[in-house]
Chains A and B, each alone.
Chain A
């Protein structure tokens, strides 16, 4: 039996239960909205308004780029790890070159302090 059919069943079942759970309060709960209740919570102060123009440190974006780069590295390692016994020492050398280049990148990022959060 195709395992992906089982995955499809799983997705269907879980999506159904997730939908029920998310909507449960809307169906079962009371509904008496008031002006204050529908405001954004900012510790009791009047809310400052929308997030328009609010900017956040570029640090987070840098983390995301680091993540993409190393995620691709890790993902390449899976097929490599599966056939590693057939590839032998040559396979080790191939991956070593690949990882060494990225390790240089990590060392650079580390040196210039892009990993520091102050």
Chain B
């Protein structure tokens, strides 16, 4: 029975990523159109307009992947035949599995069981995410090398150098969060954020670690290799960077990997800084507003509200990244490296030091 529950949670966590990336693709196309005053993807009919209405989101949600999967798969003669297949696979796999440790709700009480809504109840969640993100580099570098093309190779090397450079500030930002909460367990961190500061403000990480939030968000965006950090695939210089020689579903897997990284950054920001699945003042038995005003709610409704809250926050931070992506121009390579090594790294280090001192000075009083 327990195995069944776990499998259900694993599938649910995976479906969140899978559906989110497809929805983001639509948001990206329609959103960019909105920003650039265009119509964007505007037609979605089945069988030449049998239905009287436009299917809207279905356009990219179903039609785009279907179209991409039916394109010809071209493997250049000069390419390394095995690694050309292997690169997209290894690019997406470590990113897909990260969502298994993100808690998407508190507990679900049903039929005598209390289910912790986190697919893998790992007490080393943050280290797991870091490990998987560090493995995601191989897709880029191998993809670039296997294509045996100058554009791909330069894109791959650039991309790897960029991703590893921004992993350091990201790791340091997470260290200061771990210092604040004293645990690397995502669910524990999410639960700790349910308490109240000064009896009124939800104790969300953003109030304790605003600098870590900024560093993590910027470094995360750089990890996802999208504008303004899209040097590895800069279309005006490198055609399409490390996936120049890819077509059809393999190329779409690379593009999907970018979206999954967007989702991962959003999940990290949500869980560590914005309370994860927490709804302010909502506890396991209902709302308890400050001032003694309570509303009792059935536990199932509370669970649904919490999961919905997680999904809404997750989507909000994805949307924020898409907004940034369509607002800023691309950095130059020296600016990129300078931002990573000379700005974010020292800032994150100082933040860790300040956090450590503050934790000791306020010993025991950090989480009220």
Contacts and interface: CB of A to CB of B under 8 A. Distances in A.
Interface of A: 1, 3-7, 9-11, 13-15, 17-19, 21-26, 28-33, 37-43, 47-48, 50-51, 54, 56, 60, 63-64, 66-67, 70-71, 74-75, 77-78, 81-82, 84-85, 88-89, 92, 95-96, 99, 103, 106, 110, 115-118
On chain B, which size bracket covers the interface? 35 or more
Interface in B182-228: 182-184
Contacts of A63: 161, 164-165, 337
Contacts, number: 214
Contacts of B158: 60
Contacts of A84: 179, 182, 356, 359
A115 B150 contact: no
Contacts of B78: 39-40, 47, 50
Contacts of B134: 71
A116 B6 CA distance: 49
A23 B18 contact: no
A6 B120 contact: yes
A9 B7 contact: yes
A71 B171 contact: yes
Nearest to B78: A40
B220 to A, nearest CB: 15
B252 to A, nearest CB: 8
A15 to B, nearest CB: 6
Contact of A78 (B71, B92, B127, B249): B127
A31 B127 contact: no
A82 B127 CA distance: 12
A112 to B, nearest CB: 13
B239 interface: yes
Which of A10, A32, A110 lies at the interface centre, i.e. has the most chain B CB atoms within 10 A of its CB?
A: A10
Interface string B159-178: 01100110110011001101
Contacts of B353: 96, 99
Nearest to A25: B248
Given A22-B253, A48-B150, A33 B74 contact: yes
Given A3-B120, A22-B88, A13 B182 contact: no
Interface string B119-149: 1111100111000001000000000010111
A115 B337 contact: yes
Contacts of B153: 51, 54, 56
Counting chain B CB atoms within 10 Å of each CB, the highest count among A6, A78, A110 belongs to A6
Q: Which 4 A-B pairs have CB atoms at the shortest separation, nearest pair first?
A: A25-B248, A14-B96, A6-B120, A25-B73
A77 B179 CA distance: 9
Given A21-B252, A74-B172, 13 more contacts: A4-B122, A9-B7, A18-B92, A18-B96, A22-B250, A33-B74, A39-B78, A60-B157, A82-B178, A82-B184, A92-B360, A99-B349, A115-B338
B106 interface: no
Contacts of B6: 1, 5-6, 9
Contacts of A26: 73, 248-249
Nearest to A69: B168
Given A3-B120, A77-B175, A39 B76 contact: yes
A60 B333 CA distance: 12
B272 interface: no
Given A10-B100, A43-B239, A60-B157, A82 B69 contact: no
Interface string B94-122: 00110011000000000000000001111
Nearest to A67: B164
A82 B9 contact: no
B144 to A, nearest CB: 10
Contacts of B122: 3-4, 7
A93 B75 CA distance: 56
B244 interface: yes
Contact of B168 (A23, A29, A51, A74): A74
Contacts of B72: 25, 29-32
B13 interface: yes
Contacts of B346: 106
A110 B239 CA distance: 33
